[in-house]
Structure 1
Amino acid sequence: MVRVRVAAFAVLSLAYPLVVYLSLGRFEPRWMALLLFALAALRALTTRQPVWWVAAVGAGLLALLATAFNQALPLKLYPALVNAVMLVIFATSLRFPPSAVERLARLTEPDLPPFAVLYTRRVTQVWCGFFVLNGALALVTAFWASNQVWALYNGLLAYVMMGVLFAGEWLVRRRVKAAHAHG
C-alpha cells in the first residue's frame, strides 16, 4: 500500500503543472486546490521525515489559499515550495553529514572511499545550486509569467534541466571513478 501511495504521489507531482495548466479556465482554482490537497495528504502519508511534513503543511496552506480566494497563484507556487524543501534537505545534509547524495550512493555502495565521499559532497552542493536556480525560476514564472510559460517551465523545462544534470553528473562520476581506479 505504501508503494501505491508513493507512486501516486510521484505521478501527481510530475503531472501537476500540466494538470493545473489544462484546468485553468475550465475549473475554478478552488476546485483545482483539491489536487494540491491530495498531494499534501499523499506526502504526509508517505513520509516519516519532519521536513516533508512541513512541505505537506505548506502545500495544504497553498491549497487553502487557492480555495479561500479562488485564485490560481497559490496553485502555481507549489513547484517553488518543492524546490525550497529540496534545498533545505540537501543544504542541511551538508551541515550535518553525510550529504544527501552520499546517503543515496551508500544504498548501492556502502563502503565509499574517501574520494567518493568528497565527490558526493560536491554533487550535493551542485544540487543545492540547482534548487536555488530552479526554485527562483519557478517563483518568477508563478508571479510574472503567463500560465503557458509557467506550465512550460515547471512542467517540461525544469524536468529537462534535471535530466541534463543527472546525465552530466553520471558522465562526470564515470570519469572520477576511472581516474581513481587507475590512480
Structure 2
Amino acid sequence: MRRPDNRLWLLAAAAGGVAYPFLVYFGRTYSGTSFLQPPLLIVIALVLIGLRLLAMRGPDGRPWLIGLAVAAMVLVMLLAWNVGLAVLAYPVVISLTVAAIFGASLLWPPTIVERFARMREPELTPAAIAYLRGVTQVWLLFLLANAAVAAALGLWGSLHLWTLWTGLVSYLLMGALFLGELAWRHLVRARA
C-alpha cells in the first residue's frame, strides 16, 4: 500500500492548528458542550502534534521529530498540573518548538530556511546563504513574539482575544511575513 504524501499530513495538521483555537473557544464558551471538555481538547492537541510528526518523517525531519516529541511531553506535563492552562498552551508550545528548531539551526547550520531553499536550488552562493540566515533570524524573532503574545493572552487576556490572536491574527501575520519576504527576495534578485 502506498504511503500518503507528507504534505497531506502537514495540511491536516495546519488545518487542525487553525481550527484548534476555535474549538477551545466553543468548548469554553458553551459549557454545555460536554464533548469539548479540556481533556478532549488536549487529546486533539496531541493528535495535531502527531500529524506534524507524521509530516516530518524522513532524513531532514529529525530536528522536527525531537522538537515535536518534546512539545507533546510539555503538554502532557501541563495537563497533569493545570488542565485549563494546558488547553491554552498548545499554540505557545508549538511556536516555541518551531522557534527552538530555527534557533538551533542558526547554531548548527545549515539553517532551516536554507534547507528549504536548497530543495529548489541545491547550489547557493555565500551571499544567498547569508541572506537565508537573516531570514531564519527574522522567523525566529517572529515565533518568539508570537509565543509571548499567545502566552500573555492565555494567562491574562480574555478567551476571545486569545482565540482571535491564535486562530486568525498570528496566521495573517505569518502569511504577511512569508509573502513580504518572497516579494523582497524577488526585488533583490531583479536588481542583481
Q: Structure 1's 153 and 52: CA in aligned 2 closer, same or farther, altered over 3 A?
A: same
Q: Quick check: 1:29 aligned with 2:35?
A: no
* Aligned counterparts of 1:125 and 1:57: Cα–Cα separation in 2: 22
Secondary structure class of the residue paired with 2:153: helix
How far residue 53 of structure 1 moved from its aligned partner, in angstroms, is: 3.7
Aligned residues: 179
How far residue 52 of structure 1 moved from its aligned partner, in angstroms, is: 3.0
Name which of 72, 82, 91 aligns with 1:59: 72
Name which of 97, 100, 104 aligns with 2:112: 100
* Aligned counterparts of 2:129 and 2:46: Cα–Cα separation in 1: 38
* Aligned counterparts of 2:24 and 2:102: Cα–Cα separation in 1: 28
1:6 is matched with which residue? 10
Q: Quick check: 1:165 aligned with 2:174?
A: no
* Aligned counterparts of 1:112 and 1:50: Cα–Cα separation in 2: 22
* Aligned counterparts of 1:65 and 1:87: Cα–Cα separation in 2: 20
Alignment of 1:145-164 (within 5 A): 145-164=157-176
Q: Quick check: 1:142 aligned with 2:154?
A: yes
Name which of 90, 103, 115 aligns with 2:102: 90
- Larger displacement relative to structure 2 (53-62 or 15-24): 53-62
2:23 is matched with which residue? 19
- Larger displacement relative to structure 2 (163-172 or 22-31): 22-31
- Larger displacement relative to structure 2 (41-50 or 19-28): 41-50
How far residue 139 of structure 1 moved from its aligned partner, in angstroms, is: 0.8
Q: Which runs of 5+ in 1 are unaligned?
A: none
Q: Structure 1's 148 and 13: CA in aligned 2 closer, same or farther, altered over 3 A?
A: same
Conservation of the 8 A alpha-carbon contact between 2:95 and 2:143: yes
Q: Quick check: 1:80 aligned with 2:92?
A: yes
* Aligned counterparts of 2:153 and 2:121: Cα–Cα separation in 1: 39
Q: TM-score, normalised by structure 2?
A: 0.82
How far residue 69 of structure 1 moved from its aligned partner, in angstroms, is: 6.7
* Aligned counterparts of 1:132 and 1:151: Cα–Cα separation in 2: 18
Runs of 4+ in 1 over 6 A off after TM superposition: none
Q: Which runs of 5+ in 2 are unaligned?
A: none
Conservation of the 8 A alpha-carbon contact between 1:40 and 1:60: no
Conservation of the 8 A alpha-carbon contact between 1:52 and 1:85: no
Q: TM-score, normalised by structure 1?
A: 0.86
Conservation of the 8 A alpha-carbon contact between 1:34 and 1:63: no
Q: CA RMSD in A?
A: 2.1
- The percentage of counterpart residues that share the same residue type is 37
